[in-house]
Structure 1
Amino acid sequence: MPETKLSVRDADRSLIVTAGDVDIAQYVYHPEAPDSEAPKPYLHPIRSLSGAPMSVYRPHDHRWHKGLQMTWAHLSGQNFWGGPTFSVEKNYHWEDNLGHMNHIDFTELSSDGERVTVAESLHWVSAQGEHWITEQRRQVFHGVDAERGIWALDFTTQLRNVRGATLDFGSPTTHGRPMAGYAGYFWRGPRSWTGGTIIAAGGKGGEEMMGAEAPWLAMVGQHDELDGGGTVLAIAGHSSASVPIKWFVRREAFAVISPSPAFDEEIALADGDTLELAHRYVFIDHMCDRAELDELGAEFAL
């Protein structure tokens, strides 16, 4: 069985996480991006243990989609997502409201072979240069299983409102666009995964999962160039807000998954308060069926 110890190295503006001799993830913490893409850290490329691609970067349809990243499209009038902003009156239109998420420093960067921990402080800064949120973000890479072709990523964050006024966390759906409640932690799959299979907990699946609640949801897709395919299993996790986490998921015209904390209901975060979120993604080196996903969903539950 190949060596699968986890390690991490700093590549100047990014961190490279390696399992054995495969770079399974690059975390770009100082991105070079135009303001139109609301610059923020992201994970790309993401790879399976065999090196198969599990993410896409700057696709032609949405240049601000970058692998797996923390985002927010509607935050008290600011756009930390990238691209145009939706409104009922103007549909999608460009505004001078594109913010930045700026990496400040790493508070922990460690590896013991079994896991890699990346903890950092970030500032969310509005288009006008105002510091609105201080974020404490923690990513833990773990659960490597070479025999089953699995590794996992835990993402937790604490978003503290430092604006001096209440912040309203919403989505395009809270602003009038039905079934478009994307917000929070967002994964964009490879182009070849378009038309993939959506499988969710409780015997559910398919496009009915848009806006639905479920403890886990998976996308199963096929690779280009390489034989076979893979699976991304997302665990909804927890939010400190009273608003339930609902899934934003699409298989057409591209593959995306996001456990949205504000799909169709805004979160009002008072000045000085903190919104806490916890999610888990599991990257699997083969195409899973429902029976296997039921077992993995229970195994990796949060």
Structure 2
Amino acid sequence: MTKAHELRCAGRVVARYVWDPELPATVSPRPYLHPVTTLGGTTVTGFMPGDHVHHLGASIAVPIVNEVNFWGGSTYVTGRGSVRLDNHGRQAHRRWLHRTGDRVSHELHWTGRDGTLLAVESRDLAVAQLTGDAWMLRVSYTLTSAGGLTIDSPATRGRAGAGYGGFFWRAPADLDRVHAYGRDSNGDVHGSRDPWVVLSGAGATGDPWTLIFQAAGEAAVDPWFVRATDYAGVCSAIAWDRPLVIAPGRTFTRRLAVVIADGPPRDATIRAAQEAV
């Protein structure tokens, strides 16, 4: 049975964190946030869409960890392209460290298809109201390598621009209404290291929404993987153009924040987000 925890802000449920999902192996089962909504009730996450059924709302998803797929779908193989392999891993809940209405923290095991332990993760998600029409989600995760980790992406294996992997947010959107930009990027924000990135769009009823993604601490060095044409999504990419190697017993930490707001992008909301982070 799928197990989930509701996160609340300003007196309402704004996110459902599914910490023990029932999912097919080919999507690389992992905890995810869906639905996530604005304070006004507009859903801003997409779940298992037809174009990429392995996109699970907002989740920590990595294409290749020691040849294990924690992203779902195909695996990019140098010289062969995207190949369907029986190599999907699982992120499994082990124990709670904190669990309240506005924050959850827990330990997870990242295991291969055969159950081999690759990493132990500590994950923390916290919500708080930012303004009258916006709230903030803070995300922190730390991976501790069990026996040494090599984290890859399709880009590190030759597919230019496909350096995704890390905290990934899939948005549901009418692509005619989607717009993405960063603080410093005049053109395509994809691949930039801007301190914040805005993704905006509209819900099923036409209500506009805004997401503001911000890097904190070590995550500031990671480029942004951004999609706003073929689909709408943002990822803080941890292996953009070179493999990330974590020695046995060593840790890797990333911290980010996402502002979820009703309405179109507003300078006041962006300023409030920067001050909060």
Scaled to the shorter chain, the TM-score interval is over 0.9
Post-superposition offset of 1:263: 1.0
Corresponding pairs, count: 277
Matches for 1:147-296 after TM superposition, within 5 Å: 147=132, 149-162=133-146, 164=147, 166-193=148-175, 196-202=178-184, 204-206=185-187, 208-225=188-205, 227-239=206-218, 244-289=221-266, 291-292=267-268, 294-296=270-272
Whole-Å separation in 2 of the counterparts to 1:299 and 1:69: 25
Q: Which runs of 5+ in 1 are unaligned?
A: 1-10
2:117 is aligned with 1:131: yes
Distance 1:177 1:293, change over 3 A: farther
Moved over 4 A (4+): none
Post-superposition offset of 1:177: 0.5
2:67 is aligned with 1:77: yes
SS at match of 2:155: coil
Whole-Å separation in 2 of the counterparts to 1:239 and 1:127: 30
TM-score after normalising by structure 2: 0.94
TM-score after normalising by structure 1: 0.87
1:201 and 1:297 in contact (8 A); partners too: no
Query: Could you give the per-residue CA deviations for residues 258-289 of structure 1, whole angstroms, max 9, x where no partner exists?
Result: 11121112211000000011111110111114
Whole-Å separation in 2 of the counterparts to 1:185 and 1:51: 23
Give the structure with the higher percent strand.
2
RMSD of aligned alpha carbons:
1.9
2:88 is aligned with 1:102: no
2:77 and 2:157 in contact (8 A); partners too: yes
% same residue: 27
Distance 1:172 1:238, change over 3 A: farther
Whole-Å separation in 2 of the counterparts to 1:179 and 1:12: 35
2:274 is aligned with 1:298: yes
Post-superposition offset of 1:142: 1.1
Post-superposition offset of 1:144: 4.3
1:239 and 1:261 in contact (8 A); partners too: no
Distance 1:12 1:84, change over 3 A: closer
SS at match of 1:29: strand
For 2:82, the equivalent position in structure 1 comes to: 92
Post-superposition offset of 1:21: 5.1
Whole-Å separation in 2 of the counterparts to 1:106 and 1:223: 33
SS at match of 2:221: coil
Distance 1:40 1:214, change over 3 A: same
SS at match of 1:50: coil
State the AA in 2 paired with 1:132.
L
Whole-Å separation in 1 of the counterparts to 2:122 and 2:15: 20
Whole-Å separation in 1 of the counterparts to 2:38 and 2:222: 27
For 1:46, the equivalent position in structure 2 comes to: 36
Whole-Å separation in 2 of the counterparts to 1:20 and 1:274: 35
Post-superposition offset of 1:156: 0.6
Which shows bigger deviation, 27-36 or 230-239? Answer: 230-239
Post-superposition offset of 1:18: 2.6
